[in-house]
Amino acid sequence: MKNHACLTGFVALVLSANLISCKADKNIQPTSQGNINVETLKTYLSRTLGVSNDEIDVNQQNFTVRGHSLTIKDVENQYATANEYKIKYGITKINQ
């Protein structure tokens, strides 16, 4: 019983130390990705919107998905901050 109390106290101490040491830095800004390959952005849209690549039309300035238009710049900005996506699928090289 004494060992259980010591173990519980130790676990509580470790957890509280982790909570205290983990502070979010509010000043971190997303890094610029530069010009990202259009095919990379198309794949990003396909995966995040749950549509096939065939349903995404691309012209010089816009993506069109099922009648909705998104500017390439807006999609680049979304991709630049899509950290969970990049963790799951990997970060694609710029200007491939």
**H or E element: which one contains 39?**
helix 38-49
pLDDT of residue 67: 93
pLDDT of residue 90: 81
Whether the model clears a pTM of 0.75, i.e. scores above it, the answer is: no
Number of neighbours of residue 63 by Cβ within 10 angstroms: 21
Measured on CA atoms in the order 43, 49, 54, 59, is the torsion positive or negative?
Answer: negative
Tens place of pLDDT per residue across the chain (96 aa): 555 555 565 555 555 554 455 555 455 444 445 567 899 999 999 999 999 999 999 998 999 999 999 999 999 999 999 999 989 988 765 444
Number of neighbours of residue 40 by Cβ within 10 angstroms: 19
pLDDT of residue 89: 87
Q: What is the dihedral of CA 89, 87, 32, 41, to 10 degrees?
A: 20
What are the residue boundaries of the structural domains of the chain, listed by start?
33-96
- Alpha carbons 96 and 77: distance in angstroms, whole number: 18
